[in-house]
Chain A
Amino acid sequence: MSSLRAHDVSIAFGGIKALDGVGFDVMPGEVLAIIGPNGAGKTTLFNVVSGLYRPTGGHIELDGRGIEGLPPHRLAGMGLSRTFQNLQVFTEMTLIDNVLVGRHLRERHSFLGDLFRLPSVARENDTSRKRAGELIRRVGLEGRESAIAGTMPYGALRRLEIARALATEPQVLMLDEPAAGCNPFETRELAALIRSIADDGRAVVLVEHDMRLVMSISDRIVVLDRGRVIARGAPADIRSNATVVEAYLGRLGAEEAARA
């Protein structure tokens, strides 16, 4: 059974359809890439699926349960987490604290218990710190645990967001342009990281512009253009798909014509 399934999802802003009948599904252990030219609706699709926007139509299922319209924190509890193209890092907190926030739902806490520092708080903190430390190592940020997030470079923060999302122990991880601003070396490491996350049995949904990354790690690809799915299939099929090439080149051609 698929972990995450979107069927016929639509959303409109002020009468303009940003998504029009989009559907996809992703299995545990699989990397699904969503690609398309700028303005195709990729990030909007992420925002709808992760509960930030309410779709105007369609159906979204997580583990077989309908989730459209549920707030993000409920989705996190059901096993869906994501990263952001425009980083949503907690800039004034340390890296380790950022990841610890991801443990929010894994800690059995109570407001009064925290206020009075019951002994269970310290025990749970120890467990969480260990887990968070592992995740920081996993994304290659060891040694910087107590650096303030706001002082770190862009690429590091992208990986921090992945660590933070993993701390929620998600079944489905959605990554919005994780390689933006990374150098080729970092991108290669990122590819290995994403693949290993899927190999843990999680479903990964990826929006990315770096085609080499997409082609190297994706099991399947969905191509969006102007809010619609124009193609879907294995990387090899997409590479040779005429409609896809036209969607990308058509734009480029038009831009060149405009410049001339």
Chain B
Amino acid sequence: MAELLQYIATGITIGSVYALVALGFTLIYNCSGIVNFAQGEFVMIGGMVTVALTAYGLPLEAAAVGAVGVSIVVGIAIYILAVAPAGRASPVTVIIITIGVSIFLRGAAQVLFGKQFHGVKPFLSEQPVMILGAAVQSQAFLVIGGTAAASLLFWILLERTLIGKALMATAANRLAAQLVGINLRRVMLIAFGGSAAIGAIAGILVTPITLTSYDVGTMLALKGFAAAMLGGMGSPLGAMAGGLLLGLAEALSAGYLSSAYKDAIAFLATFAVLLLAPNGLLGRRSVNRV
């Protein structure tokens, strides 16, 4: 029982990170139809910059704000320098561009921070909290709480603000949105900036638990991508659900089956779901119009 609880706690914690990465994917995908493979790098940047700034003696809060800021700048730069100039290139081309961006950022991180792992101390205390015999790190609560807060904020932004309405309108129909006077470029900038912020927050929160290094982004992008697919590409709720499910599946299989193959679970689960429901768990059904 304690063991199961332990796995579930781990699963929800890591699943929260996947959920945030998937949410970031969804935000950009909905507005532009682009799958941004560099999404995982935002998580790396969030963690890395926090580590670097605290090392310079900045208080954690300031370092975290700085990390989110840097990530947003990078996100916006990706749009302006790499995605926008590509114009109406084919999806494969854009995928490769974002993969190129991801390789570039990884290379930059390697130059700036080196190849070793970096960590920060847990924000609250290093003592784990005991729940029914399971030791849960205090940081895990921050990750889960932070994810909940970030997604709530995301939801409010989308549903309750004018800019959110513009984002949703663009997602529904790009041409129509432009015709009613929505500035597409601004919407894209906000999508890339917002998506970068979400990723950075995940990175800041999870680094005390998982540590970070220049190359954590690739795997996170893959998992987040899988989570977004699992939930149904384009659905924010699906992204959250997909992320949490993936995290749980991974933690449980690591615990009960094989830790070496826990990464396989993500893809096997995604395969299974895609084959049964080609649009994901919560994805929109589409009719092939001809």
Q: Residues of A at under 8 Å CB distance from B?
A: 13, 43, 47, 52-53, 84, 86, 88
B287, CB-defined interface residue at 8 Å: yes
- The distance in angstroms between the C-alpha atoms of A43 and B290, with both chains bound, is 9
Could you tell me the distance in whole angstroms from the C-beta of B290 to the nearest C-beta in chain A?
Answer: 6
Query: In the complex, what distance in Å separates the CA atom of A86 from the CA atom of B287?
Result: 15
Kindly report which residue of chain B lies nearest to residue A46, judged by CB atoms.
Answer: B290
For the complex, give the distance between the alpha carbons of A43 and B289 in Å: 10
- In the complex, whether B288 has a CB less than 8 A from a CB of chain A is yes
Q: By the criterion CB–CB under 8 Å, are B287 and A88 in contact?
A: no
* Distance from A22 Cβ to chain B, minimum over Cβ atoms (Å): 18
Residues of A contacting B288 with CB < 8 Å? 52
| A80 CA to B286 CA, complexed, in Å | 26
Residues 270-290 of B, flagged 1 when their CB comes within 8 A of A and 0 if not, give: 000000000000000001111
Contact A13 B290 (CB under 8 A): no
Residue in A closest to B285 when the chains form the complex, CB atoms: A14
Q: Could you say which of B287, B288, B289, B290 has the most chain A C-beta atoms within 10 Å of its C-beta?
A: B290
Chain B residues close to A by CB (< 8 Å): 287-290
Cβ–Cβ < 8 Å partners of A52 in chain B:
288, 290
Interchain CA distance A42-B290 in the complex, whole Å: 12
Shortest Cβ gap from B288 to chain A (Å): 7
- A86 and chain B: residue at smallest CB distance: B290
**Total cross-chain contacts (CB, 8 A):** 10
A13 to B290 Cα, complex, angstroms: 15
CA distance A13 to B45 in the complex (A): 46
A16 to B267, CA, bound (A): 36
- 8 extra interface residue pairs, beta carbon distance < 8 Å, beyond A13-B287, A53-B287: A43-B290, A47-B290, A52-B288, A52-B290, A84-B290, A86-B289, A86-B290, A88-B290
Subset of 10 A-B contacts with CB under 8 Å: A13-B287, A43-B290, A47-B290, A52-B288, A52-B290, A53-B287, A84-B290, A86-B289, A86-B290, A88-B290
In the complex, which residues of chain B have a beta carbon less than 8 angstroms from the beta carbon of A84? Answer: 290
CA distance A199 to B231 in the complex (A): 54
Measured in the bound complex, the distance between the Cα atoms of B290 and A102 in whole Å is 19
Residues of chain A within 8 A of B290, CB atoms compared = 43, 47, 52, 84, 86, 88
Kindly state the separation between the CA atoms of A53 and B286 in the bound complex, as whole angstroms.
12
A195 to chain B, nearest CB (A): 26
Nearest CB in chain A to that of B287: its residue: A13
B283 to chain A, nearest CB (A): 15
Nearest CB in chain B to that of A14: its residue: B285
> Which residue on chain B has the smallest CB distance to residue A50?
B290
Bound form: Cα–Cα A6–B265 in Å: 48
B122 to chain A, nearest CB (A): 49
Minimum C-beta distance from B244 to chain A (A): 29
In the docked arrangement, what's the CA distance between A43 and B287, Å? 14
Q: Which residues of A contact B287 (CB under 8 A)?
A: 13, 53
Q: Which chain B residue has the least Cβ–Cβ distance from A47? A: B290
Instruction: Give chain A nearest CB distance to B22 CB in angstroms.
Output: 27
| Complex CA–CA separation, A52 to B287 (angstroms) | 10
Q: In the complex the two chains form, what is the Cα distance from A13 to B287 in whole Å?
A: 9
Inside 8 A of A86's CB, which chain B residues have their CB?
A: 289-290
A13 contacts which chain B residues (CB < 8 A)?
Answer: 287
Residues of B within 8 A of A53 (CB): 287
For the complex formed, measure the closest distance between the CB of B285 and the CB atoms of chain A, giving whole angstroms.
8
Distance of A71 from chain B, by nearest CB (Å):
13
Top 5 nearest A-B pairs (CB, nearest first) are A84-B290, A86-B290, A13-B287, A52-B290, A88-B290
Note all chain A residues with C-beta closer than 8 A to B289.
86
B38 to chain A, nearest CB (A): 30
A144–B229 Cα distance when bound, in Å, is 44
Determine the residue in chain A with the shortest Cβ distance to B288: A52
Q: What's the nearest-Cβ distance from chain A to residue B278, in Å? A: 15
Taken together as a complex, chains A and B put the C-alpha atoms of A53 and B289 apart, in Å, by 10
CB of B119 to closest CB in A, whole Å: 51
A43 to B288, CA, bound (A): 13
State A86–B289 Cα separation when bound (angstroms): 9
CB-based nearest B residue for A176:
B290
Least CB distance from B287 to A in Å reads 6
Shortest Cβ distance from B131 into chain A, in angstroms?
45
Shortest beta-carbon distance, A52 to chain B, in Å? 6
User: Whole-angstrom distance between the alpha carbons of A88 and B290 in the complex?
Assistant: 8
CB distance from A241 to the nearest CB of B (A): 30
Q: How many angstroms from the CA of A84 to the CA of B288 in the assembled complex?
A: 13
